[in-house]
Amino acid sequence: MAKGLDVVIVGGGIIGLAGGYFLSRKKKRVLVIDKGGFADGASGACDDMILFQSKKPGINLELTFESLELYKRLIVDFDDEMQFKNLGGMVLIENDAELAIMEQFVAEQRSYGLDVEVIGQQDARKKQPFLSDHIIASTYSMMDSQIDPFHVMRALEKHGLKLGMGIQRRNGVVAIERLGNGNWSVVCEDGSTHEAPVVVNAAGAWAPSIAQMVGATVPIVPKRGQIVLSERIPPIGETNLWNAKYLVTKLHKGTEVQMTDEERELGLSLAFTRSAGNTYLMGSTREYVGYDKGTTIAGIRGIIDMTLSYLPKMKDVGIVRAMAGLRPETPDGKMILGEHKNLDGFYTAAGHEGDGIALAPVTAKLLSDLICGNPIDRDLGELSPNRFGGMAHE
Amino acid sequence: MSDENENRDMLICRCEEVTLGEILDAIDEGFVTVKDVKRATRAGMGLCQGRSCSRTIARIISERTGKSLEEVLPKSYRYPVRPEKMGAALSREGEDESNN
């Protein structure tokens, strides 16, 4: 039995690594355990956005502001840009119904301090010369930023290791038991056990099965997002792009939008972002297919079809690869962060859906404040693992 | 790798311009499979998707760590195995292309 640990973090994705690094900075002795390799899960099969425009005013938008500031500080602390870019973003609008909803949404976001506006067709085309003619308007925000997940994770790991953090990969957790002294014992596939007063469940889409080991319920569902990668090409526009079509259905339930059967079935919506490798990441699907991380021909063709409908010129660009990640989705679209009721020292930090990269630093900061008992100047009740009711039953 | 120091600037992944030195550093930091090294350095993420360099990288990891090639090579390859134009990816023989 390895002793002397303060915290065992289950899951070495961006949330687990960021948590490990922030806790190590507070002099906690941390071990991060992951069943897979480096960036094997959703953190390695996603885009790189610190995206504001998709957020409804509320805690998710507020936390994104905080996270961006924390990223800027990490860039200074690590003396490493981690491919941070601030290209801004546009949400493409295709008809008057979408325009009306987006105008209202933009007004709400502005009242929350987001620098965003609606721009007309001509201005949109100035920023994106290859846009399809049918785009009637667009939103535009210069705040949407991005940072390379692989680079961030490697840096968090490197600086965490320097502070004494431990990492074990390819060693899944098979059991978590409460010891007589009140500590948790985390049992791994290789037979090793690790004792600590605090365990953090940062297993993303797999968080429910980790929670189950201590009799807790975490209502996270894996949602598959397929992404297609282009070959390396020069920038074809100023900003990254999304479409309003999917967003408006989320904002106004029951809004009638024109979607093909394919779009509906695959949950397709556009995310067109320039990656650290000067390629374009094109996504994405939103599929409920359990823990199947495979890419599908239908998904890839659906994404290509959709992308070409906004950017017809891309037909001459090559694709080199497709990938899929399982976004951990919660019932209310907010992450799960906090200690479980009746399970002293058992925390969950998971359920970021498509915002794990954007929200990793602020999640880690709050997690470390919770565990260290530092004052937190915000009510985290709406993120609590106990908000769903009937959670822990010991 | 006895003359490792002289060869550190040698390009292993030409698509993403990743050198032997960068790959050795990643291995020493604990990235010990072809996939780990790819995600840590971008080696194999470029146009050829590792078709040229992944065997070489596997051998470098194997020599450095004593692990077998089977342990360090990826177990699966994802579609597409060769780059293809987006326009071409949509059209298939015998299928209706009118939607394009």
B51 within some domain: yes
The alpha-carbon gap from A156 to the nearest alpha carbon of chain B, in Å, equals 12
Which residues share a beta bridge with A187?
Answer: A175, A193
Q: Is the pTM value of this prediction over 0.90?
A: yes
Res B91: pLDDT:
65
Interface of A with B in 12-71 (CB under 8 A): 37-40, 44
Containing domain of residue B64, as a range?
4-68
Q: What is the ipTM of this complex?
A: 0.88
Task: Judge whether B99 lies within some domain.
Answer: no
* pLDDT single digits (tens) A11-21: 999 999 999 99
Any domain includes B78: no
CATH topology of domain A89-142+221-329: D-Amino Acid Oxidase; Chain A, domain 2 (3.30.9)
Looking at the domain assignment, is residue B92 inside a domain? no
Chain B residues within 8 A of A161 when measuring between CB atoms: 29
Where does the pLDDT of residue B4 fall: very low under 50, low under 70, confident under 90, or very high at 90 and above? low
B78 vs A277: CB contact, 8 Å cut-off?
no
Mean pLDDT of chain A: 94
For A304, which residue in chain B has the nearest alpha carbon? B86
Do the Cβ atoms of A367 and A359 come closer than 8 Å? no
Q: B34 in a domain, yes or no?
A: yes
All CATH 3.30.9.10 domain ranges in chain A, comma separated: 89-142+221-329
Tell me the shortest Cα–Cα distance from B62 to chain A, in angstroms.
16
What is the number of structural domains in chain B? Answer: 1
Between A7 and A257, where is the model more confident? A7
What is the distance between the alpha carbons of residues A141 and A52, in angstroms, rounded to a whole number?
Answer: 8
Chain A positions touching B28 (Cβ under 8 A) are none
Contact check, Cβ <8 Å, B46/A157:
no
Q: Which of B29, B49, B83 sits opposite A158 (nearest CB)?
A: B29
Do the beta carbons of residue A306 and residue A268 sit within 8 Å?
Answer: yes
Q: What is the mean pLDDT of residues A191-197?
A: 97
User: Where do you find CATH 3.50.50.60 in chain A?
Assistant: 7-44+150-219+332-383
Q: Which residue of A has its CA nearest to B15?
A: A232
Q: With an 8 Å Cβ cutoff, are A318 and B16 in contact? A: no
> Residue A167's closest chain B neighbor by CA?
B30
Residue B80 to residue A38, Cβ atoms within 8 A: no
pLDDT number for residue B100: 37
- CA pair distance A267, A286, nearest whole angstrom: 5
H-helix or E-strand spanning residue B40: helix B34-41
Which pLDDT value is given to residue A365? 98
What distances in angstroms separate CA B59 from CA B23, B29, B63, one per listed residue?
12, 17, 6
Q: Confidence band (pLDDT; 50, 70, 90) for B89?
A: confident
Please judge whether B83 and A231 are an interchain contact, meaning their C-beta atoms are less than 8 angstroms apart: yes
Contact: B90, A323; criterion CB under 8 Å: no
Per the CB < 8 Å rule, is B78 touching A295?
yes
Query: CATH number for the A7-44+150-219+332-383 domain, one of 2.60.40.10, 3.30.390.10, 3.20.20.80, 3.50.50.60?
Result: 3.50.50.60
A247 band by pLDDT with thresholds 50, 70 and 90: confident
pLDDT tier for residue A276 given thresholds of 50, 70 and 90? confident
What is the CATH number for B27? 1.10.10.1100
Q: Which candidate from A231, A307, A308 shows the least CB-CB separation from B47?
A: A231
- Within a domain: B50: yes
Confidence tier at A3 by pLDDT (50, 70, 90): low
Q: Which of residues 127-156 of A touch B (CB under 8 A)?
A: 150, 154
Residues on chain B touching A165 (C-beta within 8 angstroms): none
Number of helical H runs and strand E runs in chain B: 6, 3
Q: A73: Cβ–Cβ under 8 A, 6 or more apart, which residues? A: none
Phi, psi values for residue A130, rounded to 5°: -100, 10
Query: Does B94 fall in a domain?
Result: no
**Taking CA A228 as the corner, what is the angle to CA A299 and CA B96, rounded to the nearest 5 degrees?**
45
pLDDT score of A112 more than 70:
yes
Q: Does the structure show a pLDDT above 60 at A4?
A: yes
The whole-chain average pLDDT of chain B stands at 85
Give me the mean pLDDT over the A241-246 stretch: 93
- Kindly determine whether residue B42 and residue A169, on different chains, have CB atoms separated by under 8 Å: no
User: What CA–CA distance (Å, rounded) separates A99 from A131?
Assistant: 17
B30 found inside a domain: yes
Please answer yes or no on whether B29 and A157 come within 8 Å at the CB atom: yes
Rounded to an integer, the average pLDDT of A214-220 is: 97
Backbone φ and ψ of B32, nearest 5°:
-120, 20
